[in-house]
Structure 1
Amino acid sequence: MVASPHPPAWLRALLERRGPAVMGVLNITPDSFSDGGQFIAPEQALVRARAMIADGADIIDIGAESTRPYKGAKPVTADEELARLKPVLAAVVALGVPVSIDSMKSEVVAWALDQGAAIANDVWGLQRDAGMAALVAARNVPVVVMHNRDSVDPALDIMQDMAAFFDRSLDIAAKAGIARDGIVLDPGIGFGKTPEQSMTALARLDELAAFDLPILVGASRKRFIASVSPSEPQDRLGGSIAAHVIAAQRGARIIRTHDVAATLQALRVTEAIESKR
């Protein structure tokens, strides 16, 4: 199957509007760093998805394996990931908002796309599962390519590492036949990075404009916030909003957040104030 030359209409509409789109996080896992276990029951997950849509979420990002960016996440098999998704995904898709499947396994992504998921979100940027790029190309779906590292290196120039990583991912995508304008880049805040490197990635986010691709940022409740203002994940709303407002000002077109209503309000107020300049 030949890749579509353009992203789907729903994604184009979101990316072309004035403010960034908001992606709501739905973790159906027992061990996600911020909300593990809260929404693993299907009825709780569906209530959460409905609430985020009511709050203004443009996309729901659903994941069934913790990819928490710190030590402690427990890898699960594809069968276990699918067992968590099967009672939930089709019902979330039926709510009518585009659904992103957050998985590093092509087998899981393929099943989710069969159920109506509209975008693949790969936290290893097409570089971990050898079948992911071919799947994305064959299904003609957009893909979020996230920067990641197996280990943290405080001495690293994180922006150089990110650029090299994205170059590799884009080469893999091109060879698989994925249309370039169906790709969204994610700097992977917190993943394989020190808190200082995460903040550098946010501060210098506009450098990723060199790739001429839309940028997604998910800084919600991440640990770098606590390095500035000591806090537990559930108490990092203010820091999350600050990071996301800065990300939007530096070009992010999609903001991934646990706190949809507050984030959307902050983005809209920022835009309204800026419009008066």
Structure 2
Amino acid sequence: MTAVLDRARDYSAPGAASVHPDAIELSRIDVNPNQPRRHFDEDGLADLARSIEAQGVLQPILVRPVGARYEIVFGERRYRASLMAGKTTIPAMVKAVSEVELPVVAALENLQRSDLNRFEEVRAKVHLLATVLGLSADDVPGHMKRLRSQPDEHADDVLVVEQLFAQLGGEQWRSFVVNGLPVLTLPEVIRREVERGALAYSKAIVIARVPAEHQSGLVQDTIELRLSQAELHARIRALAPLPAADTLATVKRRLSQRRLSQLSPDQKVEAERLIEALHRLLT
């Protein structure tokens, strides 16, 4: 695990790749189908294309040789904008990056250099964690929750995760578990808008807490009317309350030992108090 992390650190260091002596033809370059960034804002690309048309590409992209062609490790946005600008070549650094190293290098470079939306950022970190921990991406969320709740039982993995997040900078890994991973389980109608960058993650989490029948309308209004956080909360407070039967069904679906174990200590105390009060009332 640490060996993979060390390789990622070496490849992301300045001077790790050599500048190609000549610009590479765009027609010989392929995109990385598994790169973290999925959504490219068309207006932003158009602005970058105009800049490239006037000044050229100011920072080379990084590619790896694959047979007689090249695959992008990072810099796909500059590649796409160059195509839009009508360019035929692009300045590039060339580095031999293996299949094992590719997701690590691509994720590190994108997380450190690009303005990924929250969904892309979380997904990139999950794939990076999967690589350094030797897990599948699907297993990462559950394992990260175990690391947070039982760090002494997984000391080696905790050390690797701490080193990785120290290298990435920004949020700490424990905060990522609590505030980042939930983006992967957002309802589709909400997740889709977060993924394309139209809905802020902070607002998505708020909308996800309301009953499902209200979510689509709130998403649409938040985006189209550019609602602030305060305005969104006001709209939610104004919603008609659910019938008692629907509220009970929602609570029953959500009430489980697993969900209770994910609450903070204060929340657990409050939940237990309410459960005990309901028990006394019904008996």
Q: TM-score, normalised by structure 1?
A: 0.29
Structure in which a larger fraction of residues adopt helix: 2
Q: TM-score, normalised by structure 2?
A: 0.28
Report which structure shows greater RCO (CA 8 Å, sep ≥6).
1
